[in-house]
Structure 1
């Protein structure tokens, strides 16, 4: 176990955005092989006031991401209102992101940054990674085909390096490479209503009684133990049949209705202690 402090800077005198208003900057820091690196502390500092263009309506924004592999821009927007900023980095909660900060760049003053984890938590972080490098990624969003400049940022990272077996290091690197292939478009939440929440939390109140104990069709037991006759050949599955099974698996049963003939794999019940299903 070895504590390893890294101090690094990114200093760019001039950068020009592309036709979408984006400019990406990156720096790689090499680490030792065969170690698990625990990112214990992260801090960054803006050393100079950036040169920006535009007024209050089209001020540029900046993203900073520290990751084990290069952070890949997604198809999601950073800002939906005018001006629209596109191709942002993955969310801070993504497994590939070790640290993220977003800043609103204002003329003649330092950038107002918001970071994840917060400064309090970032000073006692427990993120671990196995790759022998770490990347600092910068994303500037502004007016298309416009020059910005005087970007100067300093970074401090405290790593706790511990040697691990070759197998553990290899599997860890494979997992991090997989996580680096971020989803370009995420939608992982769903809307609920007050009535739905009440029904999920208090189903007995909603239906005014207990759920029937017998929720399985009694005729399905035979088809489970004897899906085909003893002298018959097994029928081949068809595309329509597979689609029907998948559709049944995705369909929800009514609250007080039987599950049906197909048994879910998580159901266990006994029939007079003779057989277990």
Structure 2
């Protein structure tokens, strides 16, 4: 892919202005991203699956140099960079300027060399459908999250959150009691925040039938509604009792015990 701005209209005015030019598989939809901290509803990022090529120009004043960029750049764009299944491409030019500005006959030239490769029908149909669906999901795109640059603010963004003192775990027994939560370490262990007796009570309550408009099990006077995921992720120690770290030690009867008539196997507990 190669691109050239024939009109060079950005040098004609000193107002804040810019443009985004796209070659894409499907029409470009403006997003909620901001271009250059000035222009609202910018086009999608260059990394968007729908984008094959993106060129941008930004000018923030008469005395400020024009900033241009392309993706892929000229070096990468000189060889095949993307595989796509759509049998068409769209050229989109988004202009940003003052509301009173007017542009006459903007001109952009694009050279695009495509290598066509045969593939089986299933791959083509799945790829074509995937590109069509992905192109519909860009309307509400936001990029990234701002985080406060303070130790207290950063703690809540680190994992595991319950160690750093940040966001509460997803699995809560009760929203207004910070200590009442359940944390799976793996399939056979859980964080020791409740006694086995309490967990068995929660497990029994989670199995009770409730009305269709209730999301949790039987109401507990102290804990409130019991989430049904306790039943789905029930641990062996909750259902069947404590699980030993090792199998019980089996002691076989000695010859003296056999002679005395004691032939039963003893188990050390």
**TM bracket (short chain):** 0.5 to 0.7
Report SS of the residue matched to 2:128.
helix
Q: Which TM-score applies when normalising by structure 2?
A: 0.57
The reply on whether 1:92 has 2:92 as its aligned counterpart is no
**Alpha-carbon distance in 1 for matches of 2:16, 2:190:** 64
**Alpha-carbon distance in 1 for matches of 2:29, 2:129:** 17
CA offset at residue 112 of structure 1?
Answer: 4.5
The reply on whether 1:184 has 2:149 as its aligned counterpart is no
* RMSD of aligned residue pairs (Cα, Å): 4.4
Report SS of the residue matched to 1:177.
helix
CA offset at residue 75 of structure 1?
Answer: 3.8
Report SS of the residue matched to 1:159.
coil
CA shift in 2, pair 1:236/1:139, >3 Å? same
Aligned ranges for residues 44-55 of structure 1 at < 5 Å? 44-50=3-9, 54-55=13-14
CA shift in 2, pair 1:238/1:130, >3 Å? same
Report SS of the residue matched to 1:71.
coil
Unaligned runs of 5+ in 1: 1-41, 250-260
Q: Deviations over 1:191-216 (max 9, x none)?
A: 2656447995899x989xxx9x8624
Report SS of the residue matched to 1:164.
coil
The reply on whether 1:175 has 2:130 as its aligned counterpart is yes
The reply on whether 1:68 has 2:44 as its aligned counterpart is no
The reply on whether 1:146 has 2:101 as its aligned counterpart is yes
Q: Deviations over 1:11-54 (max 9, x none)?
A: xxxxxxxxxxxxxxxxxxxxxxxxxxxxxxx2112234337653
The reply on whether 1:158 has 2:113 as its aligned counterpart is yes
Aligned ranges for residues 15-164 of structure 1 at < 5 Å? 42-50=1-9, 54-55=13-14, 58-80=15-37, 84-104=38-58, 112-164=67-119
Q: Deviations over 1:89-111 (max 9, x none)?
A: 1122222222211113698xx96
CA shift in 2, pair 1:206/1:171, >3 Å? closer
CA shift in 2, pair 1:263/1:179, >3 Å? same
Q: Which residue matches 2:174?
A: none
Q: Which TM-score applies when normalising by structure 1?
A: 0.55
CA shift in 2, pair 1:137/1:177, >3 Å? same
CA shift in 2, pair 1:268/1:186, >3 Å? farther
Name which of 168, 188, 191 aligns with 1:215. 191
Unaligned runs of 5+ in 2: 166-184, 218-224, 248-269
Once the two structures are overlaid, the 10-residue window that deviates more, 87-96 or 181-190, is 181-190
Once the two structures are overlaid, the 10-residue window that deviates more, 214-223 or 154-163, is 214-223
Do 1:68 and 1:131's aligned partners in 2 also have CA atoms closer than 8 Å? yes
